Amino acid sequence: MKILFLVFYGFQEYNGISKKIGYQADALRQCGADVRVCRYEVAGDGSRKWMTDEEVLADLGKGIPAKLKKRLSFAPILRYVRREGIRCVYIRSYHNANPFTIHFVRTLKKQGVGVLLEIPTYPYDHEYASVREKAQLYTDKLFRRAFCKYVDFIVTFSDDERIFGRPTIRISNGIDFDRIPLRSPRHGTAGELNLIGVAEIHFWHGFDRLLRGLGEYYSGHPEYKVRFHLVGKPSGRREAEEIAAPIRRYRLQPFVTLYGAKHGEELDALFNRADFAVGSLARHRSGIYNIKTLKNREYAARGFGFVYSETDDDFDRMPYTFKVPADDSPVSIPALIEFYQSMTVTPPEIRDSIRHLSWREQMKKVYEHIVRMKK
């Protein structure tokens, strides 16, 4: 079974989404599929290309004409699908439904090709903040139901049985255990607790809630120290200020370290200095209350307990997760310390508790739908 995994942007080594797509493609291969990954890349010289794995599928050129070609013409991909005998195209949603993408999926269906659309976060309308983003969303909202008429199934990490009128395949974000090491703690926690948060920082991560909680905690001049290691770049000025403002206000500089983006051995080393992890604390800000985030699973795979606020059925009853309300209140640091000190589960036990969440097990559900669909 030949499957084309289509992504409307390029990959970055440190980016969690890029890694996730690689894990998903590998998992489909483990299920028996012949998977090719098609992505859009902007080279160092400014040229824009459609790539299939490491081969150039189409060189679109440079400048405005190249940008327009990306949005208006998918002929190179359609030719590739026809030439290679692709049976199914798995599209990672870019929220870019418009007459041109509709023509693309309609042509795929005319060629007898199955179409799956993965919507990583649903609903997503409240995730857009800037004027430019809202303009893109407006176009998507106008055309997404027409686009989805040509989609066989929507892959979702939510509990929705139908999205935009189409049936869903409900899965969880998964883990590639071979690529995520178990943490190796290198210090005790008798005198201090080290928290770590890793993300491309958006407003829905709600790290400001933790910082305000630290501000309240340190206003009492406690002997027990809690430190926060924040790894990742803010996605915009708004997010950067939401981090900087409480650090200034509460004078948290001695207790909060900002690292920027890290990956590989550098990131592993930071994890090994930490004791407890920080997941998303404000998904409610984007109108989402129930979601199965990749970051929660990565933390558990490394053997961390963690704090988060959304509903996640895979973790809500685990003895190593600390839930906070889905609101904007500060995180109670004393309660978090008490929870951490009461934990008895070990890092290997935490990792073992999510073995069923491997990417192979999750993408197997998708592959089985594709096989039945193409019989």
Please give the pLDDT value at position 111. 96
* pLDDT above 90: residue 156: yes
* pLDDT above 70: residue 14: no
192 phi and psi angles, rounded to 5 deg: -160, 160
For the record, the structure tokens of 61 come out as 């050129």
* pLDDT above 90: residue 169: yes
**Residue whose pair of structure tokens reads 């027990």 in the numeric block:** 224
Q: How far is CA 279 from the centre of its chain?
A: 12
The DSSP symbol for 222 reads -
* pLDDT above 80: residue 188: no
For the record, the structure tokens of 140 come out as 């998507």
Please give the pLDDT value at position 19. 87
**Residue whose pair of structure tokens reads 């008490």 in the numeric block:** 338
Q: Where are the domains of the chain?
A: 2-174+358-373, 192-356
Taking the C-alpha atoms of 135, 140, 141 and 142 in order, what is their torsion angle to the nearest 10 degrees? 100
Please measure the distance between the N-terminal and C-terminal CA atoms of the chain and give it in whole angstroms: 11
Section 263-286 average pLDDT:
96
Please give the pLDDT value at position 323. 98
Domain 192-356 is found in CATH 3.30.1330.60: no
Percent of the chain residues topping a pLDDT of 90: 81
Out of 3.40.50.2000, 3.30.70.260, 1.10.1270.20, 3.30.479.10, the CATH code matching 2-174+358-373 is: 3.40.50.2000
In whole angstroms, give the CA distance from residue 88 to residue 2.
7
Mean of the per-residue pLDDT values for the chain?
A: 93
Please give the pLDDT value at position 134. 83
Q: Quickly state the pLDDT bin for 161 (edges 50, 70, 90).
A: very high
* pLDDT above 80: residue 324: yes
| pTM (2 d.p.) | 0.84
Q: Residue 326 to residues 159, 204, 280, 308: CA-CA distances in angstroms?
A: 18, 11, 10, 9
Does 192-356 match 2-174+358-373 at the fold level?
A: yes
- Say whether the peptide bond before residue 330 is cis (omega within 30 degrees of 0): no
